[in-house]
């Protein structure tokens, strides 16, 4: 088996804030050089600066994961600056709620494009070279909604089910070749998505923001929000794990 690189090169999408930022920092602490990718220049610059402060190389990359040409150019820029991508974390995503009757085609397609097609495009851009080198990690940040159904998030749930399916199929295809593909499936997490959702709930129900947050937290089996650092810790563990492949790792607040 090909040994892991001494300092793997990681690409983390959706890394400007929240879960992606925490994962970028966690991988840097594990010794990875990190390409910090997201659509907002100021956010990726700030995360890259924080990553670089941990003693590894970091580059900011403004990237729309749904644009195949932009993905190809971004991967080439990473290779020129840091080296080929050894670790891919597909974290970029979108989450919007609506009753099914109000889930129009644009909302539906937006979720599938960002949450499923985006990871497909980025993985397709980096996976062949991982297989050639005999070592690599693909970590997809999915959701509990990728494993069970939930009301008012039909598009999101379908897209995350697709991402879990992509994970399992790809893991089966690369098994035994030095590359692992896994998904992390957190419940509601302490991120802007939940804060925005809580503000919407408060506006529609008259609850306070704090009460709305608590409502969302109780939807997790553990009755609490998942911290981004918990998700990042799982990603860091998968970095050095040669055995786990095709798993959908649940973080539901019970541990």
Active site residues: 156
The β-bridge relationship of strands 9-12 and 58-62 is unpaired
Longest dimension (CA), the chain: 58
Distance CA 134, CA 2 (A): 6
* Cα–Cα distance list, 212 to 95, 192, 226 (Å): 17, 14, 16
3-state helix, strand, coil in the chain (%, to 5): 50, 15, 35
Residue 108, classified by CB atoms within 10 Å of its CB into exposed (0-12), middle (13-18) or buried (19+), is middle
């Amino acid at each position: 088996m090909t040994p892991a690189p001494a300092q793997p090169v990681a690409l983390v999408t959706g890394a400007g804030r929240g879960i992606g930022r925490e994962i970028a920092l966690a991988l840097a602490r594990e010794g990875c050089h990190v390409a910090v990718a997201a659509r907002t220049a100021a956010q990726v610059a700030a995360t890259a600066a924080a990553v670089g402060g941990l003693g590894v190389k970091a580059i900011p990359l403004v990237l729309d994961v749904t644009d195949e040409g932009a993905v190809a150019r971004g991967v080439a820029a990473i290779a020129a600056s840091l080296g080929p991508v050894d670790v891919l974390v597909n974290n970029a995503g979108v989450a919007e709620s609506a009753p099914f009757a109000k889930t129009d085609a644009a909302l539906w397609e937006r979720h599938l494009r960002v949450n499923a097609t985006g990871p497909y495009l980025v993985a397709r851009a980096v996976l062949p070279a991982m297989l050639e080198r005999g070592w690599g990690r693909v970590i997809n940040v999915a959701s509990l909604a990728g494993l069970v159904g939930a009301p008012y998030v039909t598009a999101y749930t379908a897209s995350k089910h697709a991402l879990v399916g992509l994970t399992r199929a790809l893991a089966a295809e690369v098994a035994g070749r030095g590359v692992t593909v896994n998904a992390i499936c957190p419940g509601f997490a302490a991120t802007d998505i939940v804060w925005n959702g809580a503000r919407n709930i408060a506006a529609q129900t008259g609850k306070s923001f704090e009460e709305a947050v608590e409502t969302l937290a109780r939807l997790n089996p553990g009755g609490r929000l998942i911290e981004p650092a918990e998700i990042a810790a799982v990603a860091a563990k998968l970095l050095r794990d040669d055995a786990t492949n095709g798993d959908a790792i649940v973080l539901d607040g019970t541990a």
